[in-house]
Chains A and B, each alone.
Chain A
Amino acid sequence: MNLSYFFTNFAELEVGQHLYWQIGNISIHGQVFLTSWILLGALLVFISLGTKKMENDPKGLQNLLEFLWDYIRDLARTQIGEKVYRDWMPFIGTLFLFVFVSNWGGALIPWRLIKLPSGELGAPTADINTTIALALLVSLSYFYAGLSNKGWRYFEYYVHPTPIMLPFKILEDFTKPLSLSFRLFGNILADELVVSVLVFLVPLVLPIPVMFLGLFTSAIQALIFATLAAYYIGEAVEEHH
């Protein structure tokens, strides 16, 4: 029995199959961009509608957006600190919104009804490229935050509180993006797989609580990703005394 075939086509799942788009001599995963464009387009439309007519007494959508803004500000402020959180709030908020919209969009919209020639539509965050891209952006951000705020003194962080920490701190720079990307990727992919497998095996009632659990996990993952990103930036700009 072909084990690879079994895994990749189990429950009619197309794990690790992609819709390839060829641009010049580079190839990209089309299904990731398709879903991300649909979801981000919806997000931008939603936000444009909510901020079209801003009033001092918030109504309807504006209320929701202000709540969201306040939530993101609190997240950024508690992790990054009062001094520089304003500079990083849009980035942290974008990470949160992107991951949240991708996760929930992947879980809530019945993408499987749309047939693609190869692969299938799903949460953009279930693709390793997306999560690595996000995690690398976070890495670049905290380096930039540290260097722009403290200059070369940023590297004092590596020998703080003792030089013994140096190898561990250097190792951390690699484990941070690794853990960020794989946690998000693993959780979302696993959630999609569990739901698909359960739908295939028991197409009644049973998948529903798992779907709800999936929604919960998706929201939590978005929060974790944004919080950790903010924490890393906060750690980089923190002043040691």
Chain B
Amino acid sequence: MFVSHLFATEGGLFDINATLPLMAIQVVVLTYLLNSLFFKPVGKVVEKREEFVRGNITEAKKKLAEVEKLEADLQNQLLEARSEAAQIVNEAEKDSEKLYKEAIELANSEANTSKENARLEIENQTSSAREQLSQQADALSELIVNRLIHQT
């Protein structure tokens, strides 16, 4: 009885009638309605935003890569400049050393020549003084001799 009631033509849990195709049509209509009211507009907005975000991310990545390249470039330049500076300092040090040495050499040689000159002068003067002395001695001896002779 229960089962027969379930499948009864009028009423029952399993009473299948024109509700079925009409409901199917209703669902198809609902699909089109929701597509134009919900899925299309929301999808457009969401996908536009996703596109926008994706574009931003790629752009940011590109910029980051550029920045990294520039940074590496700068680093290179810095290293180069540093080594150049070190070289310049080195060269300058060498130059100054050379100049110092040259100056010392020059001073030494100058001192040597003036010493030599002084020595020669001294020698000259000594010899001339000696000559003078011997002359004077000669004159004095002559004088002495003369006096001795005249007294006698």
Once the chains are docked, how many angstroms separate the CA of A66 from the CA of B46?
7
| B1 engages A36 (CB within 8 Å) | no
Asked if B100 is an interface residue, CB under 8 A from chain A, the answer is: no
| A130 engages B38 (CB within 8 Å) | no
Interface residues of A in 32-49 (CB under 8 A from B): 32-33, 36, 40, 44, 47-48
| B38 engages A29 (CB within 8 Å) | no
Q: Which residues of A contact B12 (CB under 8 A)?
A: 16
Q: Which residues of A contact B16 (CB under 8 A)?
A: 128-129, 132
Asked if B33 is an interface residue, CB under 8 A from chain A, the answer is: yes
Interface residue count on the B side (C-beta < 8 Å): 40
Once the chains are docked, how many angstroms separate the CA of A93 from the CA of B2?
38
What size tier do the contact residues of chain A reach? 35 or more
Asked if B18 is an interface residue, CB under 8 A from chain A, the answer is: yes
Asked if A219 is an interface residue, CB under 8 A from chain B, the answer is: no
Q: Mark B29-61, 1 if CB is under 8 A from A, else 0.
A: 011011101110111011011001000000000
Looking at the complex, which one of B21, B23, B24, B34 makes contact with A97 (CB distance below 8 Å)? B34
Q: How far is the CB of A184 from chain B (nearest CB, A)?
A: 13
- Looking at the complex, which of A133-141, A143-151, A154-162, A231-239 is the stretch in contact with chain B? A133-141
| B5 engages A28 (CB within 8 Å) | no
Q: For residue B33, which residue of chain A has the nearest CB?
A: A44
Asked if A215 is an interface residue, CB under 8 A from chain B, the answer is: no
Q: Mark A31-75, 1 if CB is under 8 A from B, else 0.
A: 011001000100010011001001110100010011001101100
Q: How far is the CB of A78 from chain B (nearest CB, A)?
A: 17
Number of interchain pairs (Cβ within 8 Å) = 131
| B15 engages A18 (CB within 8 Å) | yes
Q: Which residues of B contact A28 (CB under 8 A)?
A: 17-19, 22
| B27 engages A51 (CB within 8 Å) | no
Q: For residue A40, which residue of chain B has the nearest CB?
A: B30
Q: Which residues of B contact A137 (CB under 8 A)?
A: 24, 27-28
Hey, which bits of chain B sit against chain A, CB under 8 A?
1-2, 4-6, 8, 10-24, 26-28, 30-31, 33-35, 37-39, 41-43, 45-46, 48-49, 52
